[in-house]
């Protein structure tokens, strides 16, 4: 009833934080009003995570001040933050698979609680905010979207005044994202402020009231995202306009290089996704993409393609006409397939070994290995060549894989596979966690491969990347693969629907009606 304006919920002034190798935060200032949805926008490595850790109490700033509802505060640890009313939903969930939803939430609350009452509270809160949850289910049975709901409900039950969300939509279909936005708007309308960390320009423009843009540890601007264009935000974020892609050269489909026919694979273990009826054709000189939210069978499909999982019938996968479903990785390499796995450290490369030694993971024949003995001179030379050609920032071929940054290691691994001159090139999450410059370079190399006549398959969770690179797209959902669609004809909305498994399975012409009905089925993410 009073007319005096409320003090800002959170006010950061001149926050500085340095680590031995890098200045993570350089005089960062930020203000969040009560009930405001405030975006923190920036690329990987811009300093967003460090800033959030400071707000959340996990990290202490070297300098600067924090004010909460107008008063100076000192947040020494997460318990202090929680007492103030700050709640955070991390990008990587803090959940316990073998415990129930109720138990998971109980662990996030400060005091000892009555489990039965809590279960009821969870149900109520879920209903109120459109985040339906069954309190007695074990978390390992939940989908990724449902797990996020557990995290959000856990945060809401602490009655926060500030809710921090770190890249919340990386695990959601476009429809589920909309649903989340409805929930967030409701929370903000009730007076809780929201800090929304993301690098997705469209989402921020749609949802957020205000934004702080960071680059290289500094704030490059404060703005109202609704008044900005994607181009102007992008300029603040990476200092340049988003790259104008050269128009995709039209291509005539070449020879059939990789064919998957009705691939069926039961689950390999309790937490895996079974694959059913997957069919795909890949021709030379094209880039085909497979979109999908993580956990829908991508890992299982990759294992079948790489040869790590050999349970398929031979004819289910053919490489250049030869049945390979039952063959291992090296047989497929011999037929001209190269594969870049999703995980760099630990799978694509051995962290404790040098780049030279890591060459031998996929280069196992002459001249690298002769009569069972390793020819080190060749391996060293090959590693040096890759470092030079792909501009990998490393001290040399003897550098340990774990000493390289994510982007540089990815460039090395991609380079290692490209120099094999493959006929089929399969790559998963090519630019995940990679800085913008390296990502652009990797995309460029992939396009070069295509122009040289290679058949390229890209599996990715980033729709932007897929739309940029690919000629044709499939979507994988719950172990099934959609038919392919030209990337020029596809819309994000349609892909989003397909991500929920709602593609035209029987050639039914009433697709429009089907899609309208599907719009109501957006509960499951």
Write out the binding residues for other proteins, residues 119-178 only, by CB under 8 A: 140
Q: Which range binds other proteins by CB under 8 A, 74-82, 116-124, 277-285, 439-447?
A: 74-82
C-beta of residue 95 within 8 angstroms of C-beta of residue 102: no
Looking at 10, 51, 52, 95, which residue binds other proteins (CB under 8 A)?
A: 95
Parallel, antiparallel, or unpaired for β 23-32 and 10-18? antiparallel
If one asks whether residue 330 binds other proteins (CB under 8 A), the answer comes out as yes
Q: According to CB under 8 A, which one of 145, 174, 285, 341 is a site residue for other proteins?
A: 341
Least Å distance, CB 92 to other proteins, is 8
> Could you tell me the smallest distance in angstroms from the CB atom of residue 303 to other proteins?
9
Distance of CA 75 to the CA centre of its chain: 30
Q: What's the rounded Cα separation, in Å, for the pair 337 and 354?
A: 24
Using CB under 8 A, pick the residue from 347, 393, 420, 480 that binds other proteins: 347
Say which residues have a Cβ less than 8 Å from residue 487's Cβ, sequence separation at least 6: 289, 466, 467, 470, 471, 472, 473
- Exactly one of 18, 35, 67, 90 binds other proteins (CB under 8 A); which one? 90
Q: Binding to other proteins by residue 93, rule CB under 8 A?
A: yes
User: Residue 272 or residue 485: which is nearer to other proteins going by CB?
Assistant: 272
Contacts (Cβ under 8 Å, ≥6 apart) of 139: 95, 96, 97, 98, 99, 100, 101, 104, 147, 150
Q: Does 329 bind other proteins (CB under 8 A)?
A: yes
Stretch that binds other proteins, among 94-102, 282-290, 447-455, 469-477 (CB under 8 A): 94-102
In angstroms, the CA 153 to CA 431 distance is 31
In the shown chain, the binding pattern of residues 7 to 36 toward other proteins, with x for contact by CB under 8 A and - for none, equals: ------------------------------
Q: Confirm if 155 and 89 have CB atoms less than 8 A apart.
A: yes
Question: Does 349 help bind other proteins (rule: CB under 8 A)?
Answer: yes
Residues from 232 through 291 that contact other proteins (CB under 8 A): 269-271
Phi (first) and psi of residue 263, to 5 degrees: -70, 125
- CB nearer to other proteins: give 346 or 433: 346
Q: Does 419 bind other proteins (CB under 8 A)?
A: no
- Closest approach of other proteins to the CB of residue 522, in Å: 28
The torsion of the CA quartet 376, 378, 382, 383, rounded to 10 degrees, works out to 10
- 3-state SS of 316-365? HEEECCEECCCCCHHHHHHCCEEEECCCCECCCECCCCEHHHHHCCCCCC
Minimum CB distance to other proteins, residue 4 (Å): 35
What the block records as the tokens of 161 is 């005044």
**Residues near 183 by Cβ (< 8 Å), separated by ≥ 6?**
129, 130, 131, 152
Nearest distance, CB of residue 332 and other proteins, angstroms: 9
Could you tell me how far CA 272 lies from the centroid of its own chain? 19
**Which parts of this chain interact with other proteins (CB under 8 A)?**
77-79, 82, 90, 93-99, 103, 106-108, 112, 140, 269-271, 306-308, 328-330, 333, 339, 341, 343, 346-353, 357, 360-362, 364, 369, 372-374
């Amino acid at each position: 009833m009073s007319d005096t304006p409320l003090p800002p919920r959170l006010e950061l002034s001149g926050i500085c934080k340095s680590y031995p190798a890098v200045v993570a935060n350089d005089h960062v200032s930020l203000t969040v009003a009560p009930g405001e949805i405030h975006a923190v926008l920036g690329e990987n490595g811009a300093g967003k995570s460090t800033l959030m850790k400071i707000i959340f109490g996990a990290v202490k700033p070297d300098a600067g001040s924090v004010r909460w509802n107008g008063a100076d505060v000192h947040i020494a640890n997460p318990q202090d933050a929680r007492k103030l009313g700050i709640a955070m939903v991390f990008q990587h969930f803090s959940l316990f698979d073998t415990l129930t939803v109720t138990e998971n939430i109980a662990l996030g609350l400060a005091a000892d609680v009555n489990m039965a009452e809590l279960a009821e509270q969870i149900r109520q809160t879920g209903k109120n905010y459109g985040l339906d949850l069954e309190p007695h289910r074990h978390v390992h049975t939940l989908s990724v979207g449902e797990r996020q709901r557990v995290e959000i409900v856990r945060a809401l039950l602490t009655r926060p005044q500030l809710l921090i969300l770190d890249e919340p939509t990386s695990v959601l279909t476009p429809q589920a994202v909309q649903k989340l936005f409805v929930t967030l708007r409701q929370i903000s309308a009730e007076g809780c402020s929201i800090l929304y960390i993301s690098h997705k320009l469209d989402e921020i423009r749609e949802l957020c009231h205000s934004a702080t843009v960071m680059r290289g540890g500094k704030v490059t601007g404060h703005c109202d995202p609704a008044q900005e264009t994607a181009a102007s935000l992008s300029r603040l974020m990476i200092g340049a306009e988003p790259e104008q892609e050269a128009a995709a050269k039209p291509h005539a489909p070449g020879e059939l290089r990789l064919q998957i026919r009705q691939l069926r694979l039961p689950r390999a273990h309790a937490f895996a996704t079974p694959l059913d009826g997957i069919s795909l054709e890949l021709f030379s000189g094209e880039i085909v993409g497979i979109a999908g939210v993580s956990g829908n069978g991508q890992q299982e499909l990759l294992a079948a393609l790489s040869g790590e999982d050999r349970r398929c019938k031979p004819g289910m996968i053919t490489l250049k006409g030869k049945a390979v479903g039952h063959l291992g990785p090296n047989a497929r390499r011999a037929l001209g397939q190269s594969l870049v796995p999703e995980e760099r450290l630990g799978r694509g490369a051995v962290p404790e070994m040098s780049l030279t030694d890591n060459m031998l993971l996929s280069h196992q024949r002459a001249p690298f290995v002769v009569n069972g003995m390793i020819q080190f001179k060749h391996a060293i030379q090959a590693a040096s060549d890759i470092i030079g050609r792909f501009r990998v920032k490393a001290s040399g071929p003897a550098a340990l894989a774990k000493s390289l940054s994510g982007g540089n290691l990815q460039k090395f691994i991609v380079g290692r596979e490209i120099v094999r001159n493959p006929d089929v090139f399969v790559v998963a999450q090519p630019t995940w966690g990679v800085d913008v410059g390296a990502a652009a370079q990797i995309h460029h190399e992939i396009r070069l491969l295509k122009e040289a006549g290679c058949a390229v398959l890209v599996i990715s969770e980033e729709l932007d990347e897929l739309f940029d690179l690919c000629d044709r797209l499939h979507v994988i959902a719950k172990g099934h693969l959609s038919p392919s669609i030209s990337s020029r004809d596809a819309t994000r909305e349609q892909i989003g629907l397909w991500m929920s498994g709602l593609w035209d399975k029987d050639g039914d012409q009433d697709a429009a009606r089907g899609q309208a009905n599907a719009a109501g089925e957006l509960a499951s993410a």
